[in-house]
Structure 1
Amino acid sequence: MGRGNEGIKIATENRKARHDYHIHEVFETGMVLTGTEVKSLRAGKANLKDSFAQIRNGEIMLHNMHISPYEEGNIFNHEPLRTRKLLMHKAEIIKLFSQTREKGFTLVPLKIYFKKGKAKLELGLASGKKNYDKRQDLAERSAKREVDRALKERQRSY
């Protein structure tokens, strides 16, 4: 019997990422955080907009992720926009490094969640979308919505 914290609780999500990028592969990474950062994340006070990951010296660093200062923190509160280290296996880091160098992919954070009490980041290997791709996705989504609406109306009439 487990304790009740085995489920996944999403802290924040980068909804714009799937609109702006083609996500080719998704990775789960750990994060090096301070105590006040974890408390702010549990309260949902984080923003992944404009954040990105970079590989330097064999380490993955997350830039521009904003975690609001913990309201009940003291002088040892964290800096909101500091660069944070991500934790992955060395083989995965080498694979990502080669793909970002050779094929022009970028590393985009998709969401932060808690899994078994630990903060995890879902990192996507992505390539940028062109404007016509974005318009095409919007058109497909609205067409699917119309079809679903029509099917729902048809089922109600029977």
Structure 2
Amino acid sequence: MTSENIKVLAQNKKASHDYFIDEVYEAGIVLFGTEVKSVRMGKVNLKDSFARIENNEVFLYNMHISPYEKGNIFNKDPLRTRKLLLNRREINKLTGYVTQKGYTLVPLRVYLKHGLVKIELAVARGKKLYDKREDIAKRDAKREIERHFKEKQHI
């Protein structure tokens, strides 16, 4: 998804550590004016956020958007529930995934695409502790190999 018209504003780095990512969807998000201004300034946090399907609509919970400084009375609650905009077909597919045991919807990143705020939503399965340890061991081994390779090049 690399394009010259995409500017990443926030990423959920913890998601790839805690979950196996199966599928990724792009969704629009319903925001108010002051929220859009805060998001454009990069004042958004996805750390503990998740999505849920209710009444054939997708809602995002716990995404923190800091209040806009110049927004005064127009500012909304930073942790309010926000609606995600997806096609009916995509929502039906997501519903099928989420009804299976172990699947959840996790936002991966928030970005601007052609001036619109979009969110990348992933269908994910939770990792067990031994999976996380395995990933850490692989990453450490890869780092060790790269470091060893660099040392060989300098000699």
TM-score under structure 1 length normalisation: 0.93
Alignment of 1:4-153 (within 5 A): 7-153=5-151
Structure 1 moving runs of 4+ over 2 Å: none
CA deviations over 1:9-60 (Å, ceiling 9, x no partner): 1111111111011111111111011111111011111111111000111100
Where does the alignment leave 5 or more consecutive residues of structure 2 unmatched?
Answer: none
CA deviation after TM superposition for structure 1 residue 90, in Å: 0.5
Shift of 1:7: 2.0
Classify the secondary structure of the residue corresponding to 2:107.
strand
* Paired amino acid for 1:123: L
Give the CA deviation at 1:103: 4.1
Contact in 1 for aligned 2:102/2:126 (Cα 8 Å)? no
| Superposed displacement of residue 124, structure 1 | 0.7
- Deviation per CA, 1:91-128: give whole Å up to 9, x if none: 01001101110243100011100011110101110010
Residues matched between the structures, number: 152
Distance 1:7 1:156 in 2: 39
Q: CA RMSD in A?
A: 1.0
| 3-state SS of 2:108 partner | strand
Equivalent residue number for residue 3 of structure 1: none
Take 1:93 and 1:145, find their aligned partners in 2: how far apart are those partners?
40
Q: Which consecutive unaligned segments of at least 5 residues does structure 1 have?
A: 1-5
Q: TM-score, normalised by structure 2?
A: 0.95
